[in-house]
Amino acid sequence: MDKQSKIEPKVVTQIGFIVKDIGETTRSFAEFFGVDIPEINWTGEYKEAQQQYKGKPVESRAKQTFFEMENIQLELIEPDDGPSTWRDHLEQHGEGVHHIAFVVKDMKQTVKTLEGLNMPVIQKGEYQGGRYAYLDSFNQLKVMLELLEND
Amino acid sequence: MDKQSKIEPKVVTQIGFIVKDIGETTRSFAEFFGVDIPEINWTGEYKEAQQQYKGKPVESRAKQTFFEMENIQLELIEPDDGPSTWRDHLEQHGEGVHHIAFVVKDMKQTVKTLEGLNMPVIQKGEYQGGRYAYLDSFNQLKVMLELLEND
């Protein structure tokens, strides 16, 4: 067997949840973890995020917020009505865990490797200081992967 | 707002996945993460695990295996046909993420606190060196919690 990990480093930096009402769930998480209610922000507009879903430019966005554990970040995502992996998840599976994320050093090379394992990019975009790609890894890994690359 | 976290420490030690065919998914994970195929073991028999599901003793068991990331453990679980939260998840949601786990210092006190937040214990049992409890926290946290207490 090939003993090279297909993803490095093997650090799960984030667990991402799709939620219907981010205001309500953010209050619930803040109360549970004993922290101030964090800011909820929209993902970038198209001119900034240049998001693509299934290979096509889309205007779709989501509201998001974050909770820091000691070893990992929890992300809450409420999709808008436009086409996205977030909206798909909400419609097909309802609320719940959507992805686990890894920060990678070389997005292009990692995407190439993973596409070669039949994990196609389903959505990607830019954010301030980096970029993300969601890969459909469900058949192999039973969860979607998100790759993050920071400049 | 109450600024006390309801769970301490805020370390997600494990992400648990329900799978249909643990042999196949274990090979897939091992190949992906570039490691030897780990042992797959059954959870304990009743005399050892004393598992309870919805407050009643059950003989139900599962096959399980583990993959170590740098900061977290990934657990694969294939339930048997008996009643369990694992079997429920497979029947109601199919494969995918079932729980996130926290190691707590005082299981009884934490369970009492979380039951007071309408997160009832759905299943619990013993393992060598400790015990576990699954709590139905889906409404509040959009994922099931597992508490682990090690002796």
Residue B64 lies in a domain: yes
Number of domains in chain A: 1
Give the tokens for residue B38: 């780990």
Residue B29 lies in a domain: yes
Q: DSSP letter for A38, please.
A: P
B78, A78 Cβ separation under 8 angstroms: no
* Inter-chain residue contact A142 with B97, CB threshold 8 Å: yes
What are the Cα distances from residue A39, in Å, to A36, B38, B60, B151?
Answer: 9, 42, 43, 39
pTM of the model: 0.97
Question: Mind listing the pLDDT tens digit of every residue in chain B (151 residues)?
Answer: 568 999 999 999 999 999 999 999 999 999 999 999 999 999 999 999 999 999 999 999 999 999 999 999 999 999 999 999 999 999 999 999 999 999 999 999 999 999 999 999 999 999 999 999 999 999 999 999 999 999 9
Indicate if ipTM > 0.90: yes
Give the tokens for residue B56: 């009643």
Whether A3 has a pLDDT exceeding 90, the answer reads no
**Could you give the CA distance from residue A105 to residue A8 in angstroms, rounded to a whole number?**
8
**In a 10 Å sphere around its CB, with 0-12 CB exposed, 13-18 middle and 19+ buried, how is residue B66 labelled?**
middle
Question: Using a CB-CB distance cutoff of 8 angstroms, which residues of chain A are in contact with residue B140?
Answer: 28, 32
Q: Which among A5, A15, A29 is the nearest to B34, CB-wise?
A: A5
* Inter-chain residue contact B10 with A69, CB threshold 8 Å: yes
- Condensed to tens digits (0 to 9), the pLDDT of residues A100-151 reads 999 999 999 999 999 999 999 999 999 999 999 999 999 999 999 999 999 9
Residue B1 lies in a domain: no
Residue B48 lies in a domain: yes
Residue B98 lies in a domain: yes
Question: CATH number for the domain including B115?
Answer: 3.10.180.10
Q: What is the share, in percent, of chain A residues with pLDDT greater than 90?
A: 97
| DSSP-H helix ranges across A34-126 | 46-49, 85-93, 107-115
Question: Using a CB-CB distance cutoff of 8 angstroms, which residues of chain B are in contact with residue A70?
Answer: 9-11
Which domain covers residue B26, as residue numbers?
Answer: 21-125
- Condensed to tens digits (0 to 9), the pLDDT of residues A82-108 reads 999 999 999 999 999 999 999 999 999
Residue A4 lies in a domain: no
